[in-house]
Structure 1
Amino acid sequence: MDNINKVKTREEIPEKYKWNVSKMYANDELWEMDFKKAKEICPKLLNYKGKLKNSKELLNYLNSYMDASMLMENLYVYAHLRNDENQANPKYQVILDKIKTYYSEFASMNSFFIPEILSFSEDEINEIISDESGLKLYEKYLKDILEEKPHVLSEEEERILASVSNCLDAPYNTFSMLSNADMTFPKIIDEDDKEVELTEGNYSVFIRSKNRKVRESAFKVLFRTYGKFKNTFASTYTAAHKNFIFNSKTRKYNSSLESSLKPNKIPLEVYHNVVNTVNENLPSLHRYVNIKKRLLKLDDIHMYDLYVPNIDAPKFDIPYESAIDLCLKALKPLGDEYLEIFKSGINDGWVDVYENKGKRGGAYSSGSYTSMPYVLLNYTNQVNDASTLAHEMGHSIHSYYSRKNQPYIYADYVLFCAEVASITNECLFMDYLMKNETDKNKRLYLMNEQLESIRTTVFRQTMFAEFELTTHEKMENGESLSTEDLCGIYHNLNKKYFGKDMIIDEEIDMEWARIPHFYSDFYVYQYVTGFAAANSFYNIILNGENNDIEKYKNFLKSGCSDYPINILKKAGVDMTTPKPLQDTIDRFNELLDMLEKEI
């Protein structure tokens, strides 16, 4: 299995390289039996409507709802895992569609719950909880719902908002259809002097080309094409902002930023700390641009030179079994218990390793509360594949710890914490590889990969976050933003972030139009905070005491039993301060020092 020259069928892959989904359901008939069971028990939840002021009825509803939710989750996870094994298999397309459709019905059956809880006062909720000891488990859950009461409208107003939700999604839908379906790009000349059509998919290849003419051509063709639709993109972008501002004002938040952060108890200072701390450290990014210019031996550096590798990629050949061994060595600082969980996951069938015909691409971690975690890979013996194994096992062991230590209702971790454990593993893995690599070119490549990871996640995503904040605030203050305004704001941000060495080509001014995450307001900053928290944990794990490792493992065990800021703070990382992000930028500077010494 070390050398895979052609894509095999699922049947040709040895069982030891496949995940053990049959541990969930030994066969599809058992899945069908549970699906039938779900259709019997889920409608019974409607019997509790109007009775939730009675503490025993409320407890019975919540217990029944949790049981039904776990069953539904098992049904969905099994269906999507089986479907991802071979997406051309119509059998699993059907069962996945069945459970997705029934999930919508399930949500509708329980739509009465939150409005009914919100009809109670805080005193009434406290009295209901005190009357039934079993409700103590659900106290945080119920009070979290009640805390949103100032931002929840009357039943009729909520019904109206719900009825127009599809209309409010129109800006993103228009953006998606235009950028993914209707737009086409002219042809360019590739590295082999052949004419090829540029697409969103192959742009990422051409912008990394060692041939400067190829990457310049791809860059200009892509963004000039976006420029032809600049007024439409400006319309969809500002309309999405107007919708979000409308919702935040309607729900009585002080700002759209508050409406995004407050539900998870994330202080606004966290967002501002991200922007301010990165702005204070922009000389580090300017230094990186200068070093890149020298490494590429350029007289001047343009925006289209940003993604070409500083170091030619050396040939890595890391068979899967070797990757497991490297992960175990790299993660050794996390202790024997962590390593035993990792090994048992590999041996028990958590991981689906190799590509096969019809298999979903990419990588992820999945699973239900009662199942083992599952990891999808498409392993090809490259160093990034080995790093991805460490990353996805970070997710899965986080889920393992959380599910073992939290009741179902608090077992999921929120987005703010979702990438922390995986990136912590990735940092430990890359650090181990770099410290133990004797080949200078490979070591330089690994350094560059880490630098690029910080540049694209911390500096780039913060620039996006600053752009979002600026445009939201301007529109909340009543300003209308034209295409020229948006391009001007974006141009000036690029100029500030990349410094005097970088030539800010006018085509980059349209890049804001290409970012789908801008339609999920104030989303991208969480990439930065997750990365920063992970880098702080990486430092703590390598340089701290034994109790620091235990604190980190307590973070992994916490699920959403507390708010994300509190969970991280208890583990030693305070995201309300600039320190975690500063730690990450210090690592960036350290890597720059190492790179300059080597070249």
Structure 2
Amino acid sequence: MNQVLKRSDVPAEHRWKLEDLFANQQAWEQEYQTVKKQLAEIGRFEGKLKDAKAIKECFELEDQISLHTERLYVYANMKNHEDMADPTYQALSDKSKKLSVDTSEAMSFISPEILSLTDEQLHKLVNDPALAFYKRTLEEMIREKQHVLSRSEEALMAQVGNLSQAPSTIFGMLNNADLKFPKIKNEKGEEVELTHGRYIQFLESRDRDVRKRAFEAVYETYAKQKNTIAATLAANVNKNLFYAKVRKYPSALEMSLFGDNIKKEVYTNLIDAVHEALPLMHRYMALRKKLMKLDELHMYDLFAPLVEEYKMDITYEEAQKTVLESLKPLGPDYLKVLEAGFDGSWIDIYENEGKRNGAYSWGAYGTHPYVLLNHKDNLNSMFTLTHEMGHALHSYLSDANQPYRYAQYTIFLAEVASTLNEALLMDYMLKKSTDPKEKMYLLTYYMDQFRTTVFRQTMFAEFEKIIHEKAEAGESLTPQLLSEVYYDLNKQYYGNDMAVDKDIEMEWARIPHFYNSFYVYKYATGFSAATSFSKQILEEGQPAVERYLGFLKSGGSDYSINILQKAGVDMSTPEPIKQAMSVFKGLLEQMEALAK
């Protein structure tokens, strides 16, 4: 696929079949009108949610409205993603977004009204046989009730909502619009302007001087703004402390974990287990230094290629075959659905003019999932294929086994199924590879995923925990304090074989995730849970496969931790992290053997 086609020229076998969702736009419009009518209907329940009969009828209508709204939204936006320059579907996408807002507003009375009932009334409803299907919804409302304020206070908090976006908005503007990086010399000695996008490219350069220049230029630029960015980050931390206090949570961390009903230990276990494994990370740094033949390994050497570029040309058809082979350990039932996805027009494969970039898996309940790709014939695209199909099969099996209300899995669980597929693909390729160069290339690829997803994200998570605790103890988050904490963490995580450059102390200033607090740990827990599953599946076979398929079928029918626990991955203990680290150790040993 060399030239980029117009959407109208893309052959049918390379496109997804959105007709499975709506036959045409006319069918979409009909369903849109249905939702409009239902929105008028739901209002009649306002002020009447006092008994089981009214609540049941209201919940049933709420489910219908939500499902139709989701279908309309998904279809309109996927049509828009096929060619984002097409005005018809830009308009349809806008129409679906407005409908989503209207739907949320129309149904916003339900939760507060039920929660205004007395504790006694609520407990009676939870145990009412007529509401048995909605027991989990009601229990979740009761769990949240202790943190819900009075009506007038909630109205006030809603007004504060706009203000609370300020730190994130200000940082975004500064980081994306106002910060200007200097020009630096590239490999050819030409002056090139440094940008966010080019920074990573420069860090991956084979020319060490280019890497060093880019690294120093980026952090010098942030250092010039350190007082402003520290004030912005401190404002974000203070916002979290404000919300935690007003809503009666013991700490900002516990407030952020409350939604997924996750205990603080899950967060602290991750940090403790990764600390325990830091000697392995230090060994990997020593190996990197040796392979790169360096006297001193610097922070700007972390993304440089370790081995000669190993070209792997993998067509889409070959990628499909390899993915199918690599997922055989998951058994015939899983493979059957996977083949149905490959053959049933779930996937939009190649780039075309105006198509949205990147990749995702998406869909609406009641229809199979869809996957958007922009496939290139390389290793990365093959991993993207298995990753997105992992999401797709998770959604498919959740939807097939759960009612609409309980089918949606949480973000905490979302990356497990996709990462597990990647782990099985990597295991398959390493076992099959006979070429030491290819093997080293694959091992490096996988080891760097561990480094960036488990070690680095855990370091970020630890930084967030420390700065929130300091602020809770009344300390002021000055640029000096933030830089000191951050620098010390880098020294601890990378070890003595790394010359930890002073510049890295400013890295906290460029991480946008710090404005979505206590989120990054989910990358590390998801990756660890997936690695733990893959280890169990490869070692135990059938019993582990059964447990894993049970996990995929559970959707959101229970709390995330419980769903994983039933499947044999107990994130309330450090065990899954330790299992992931034993896989990391095995990979490191293979690399060390090849490097001799």
| Bucket of the pairwise TM-score, normalised by the shorter protein | over 0.9
> What residue in structure 2 maps to residue 138 of structure 1?
134
Structure 2: segments with no counterpart, 5+ residues: none
1:439-450 correspondence runs (5 A): 439-450=435-446
1:127-276 correspondence runs (5 A): 127-131=124-128, 133=130, 135-276=131-272
Answer yes or no: is 1:12 the counterpart of 2:17: no
Deviations, residues 396-449 of structure 1 (Å, cap 9, x unaligned): 000000000011111010011110011000000011011112222111100111
- Report how many aligned residue pairs link the two structures: 595
Answer yes or no: is 1:470 the counterpart of 2:466: yes
Match of 1:415, as an amino acid? I
> What residue in structure 2 maps to residue 72 of structure 1?
69
Rounded Cα–Cα distance in structure 2 between residues aligned with 1:290 and 1:515? 27
How far residue 129 of structure 1 moved from its aligned partner, in angstroms, is: 4.7
Any idea what SS the aligned residue of 1:188 has?
strand
Any idea what SS the aligned residue of 2:146 has?
helix
Deviations, residues 126-173 of structure 1 (Å, cap 9, x unaligned): 43355552x211111111011111111000000001011011110000
Q: Aligned residues: percent identity?
A: 47
* Contact persistence 2:551–2:564 (CA under 8 A): yes
1:384-403 correspondence runs (5 A): 384-403=380-399
How far residue 270 of structure 1 moved from its aligned partner, in angstroms, is: 0.6
> What residue in structure 2 maps to residue 49 of structure 1?
46
How far residue 349 of structure 1 moved from its aligned partner, in angstroms, is: 0.9
Deviations, residues 515-542 of structure 1 (Å, cap 9, x unaligned): 1111111101111110110001001111
Rounded Cα–Cα distance in structure 1 between residues aligned with 2:128 and 2:369? 37
> What residue in structure 2 maps to residue 112 of structure 1?
109
Answer yes or no: is 1:431 the counterpart of 2:423: no
Any idea what SS the aligned residue of 1:365 has?
strand
* Contact persistence 1:53–1:128 (CA under 8 A): no
Match of 2:451, as an amino acid? R
> What residue in structure 2 maps to residue 456 of structure 1?
452
Deviations, residues 205-227 of structure 1 (Å, cap 9, x unaligned): 11110000111111111111111
How far residue 123 of structure 1 moved from its aligned partner, in angstroms, is: 2.9
> What residue in structure 1 maps to residue 24 of structure 2?
27
1:399-414 correspondence runs (5 A): 399-414=395-410
* Contact persistence 2:126–2:139 (CA under 8 A): no
Rounded Cα–Cα distance in structure 1 between residues aligned with 2:8 and 2:134? 46
Match of 1:331, as an amino acid? L
> What residue in structure 2 maps to residue 82 of structure 1?
79
Rounded Cα–Cα distance in structure 1 between residues aligned with 2:190 and 2:83? 34
Deviations, residues 84-119 of structure 1 (Å, cap 9, x unaligned): 111111111111111111211111111111111111
Match of 1:246, as an amino acid? F
Rounded Cα–Cα distance in structure 2 between residues aligned with 1:347 and 1:441? 34
> What residue in structure 2 maps to residue 550 of structure 1?
546
> What residue in structure 1 maps to residue 480 of structure 2?
484
Rounded Cα–Cα distance in structure 1 between residues aligned with 2:128 and 2:482? 56
1:277-288 correspondence runs (5 A): 277-288=273-284
* Contact persistence 1:424–1:538 (CA under 8 A): yes
* Contact persistence 2:21–2:367 (CA under 8 A): yes
Deviations, residues 448-490 of structure 1 (Å, cap 9, x unaligned): 1110000001100010001000000000111111001100110
* Contact persistence 1:55–1:132 (CA under 8 A): no
TM-score using structure 1 length: 0.98
Rounded Cα–Cα distance in structure 1 between residues aligned with 2:33 and 2:210? 57
Deviations, residues 298-317 of structure 1 (Å, cap 9, x unaligned): 11111000111211221111
> What residue in structure 1 maps to residue 586 of structure 2?
590
Any idea what SS the aligned residue of 1:481 has?
coil
Answer yes or no: is 1:348 the counterpart of 2:355: no
Rounded Cα–Cα distance in structure 1 between residues aligned with 2:269 and 2:43? 45
Rounded Cα–Cα distance in structure 1 between residues aligned with 2:441 and 2:128? 63
Match of 1:314, as an amino acid? Y
Structure 1: segments with no counterpart, 5+ residues: none
Match of 1:370, as an amino acid? G
> What residue in structure 2 maps to residue 565 of structure 1?
561
Rounded Cα–Cα distance in structure 1 between residues aligned with 2:350 and 2:158? 43
Rounded Cα–Cα distance in structure 1 between residues aligned with 2:27 and 2:506? 53
Match of 1:15, as an amino acid? A
Answer yes or no: is 1:290 the counterpart of 2:281: no
Match of 2:283, as an amino acid? R
> What residue in structure 2 maps to residue 518 of structure 1?
514
Rounded Cα–Cα distance in structure 2 between residues aligned with 1:129 and 1:256? 30
Match of 1:9, as an amino acid? K
Any idea what SS the aligned residue of 1:196 has?
strand
> What residue in structure 2 maps to residue 36 of structure 1?
33
Match of 1:124, as an amino acid? Q
Rounded Cα–Cα distance in structure 2 between residues aligned with 1:510 and 1:330? 42
Match of 1:273, as an amino acid? N
Aligned equivalent of 2:355, options 359, 362, 376: 359
Match of 1:16, as an amino acid? E
Greater CA drift, 286-295 or 22-31: 22-31
Match of 2:307, as an amino acid? I
Answer yes or no: is 1:92 the counterpart of 2:93: no
Greater CA drift, 5-14 or 355-364: 5-14
How far residue 545 of structure 1 moved from its aligned partner, in angstroms, is: 3.9
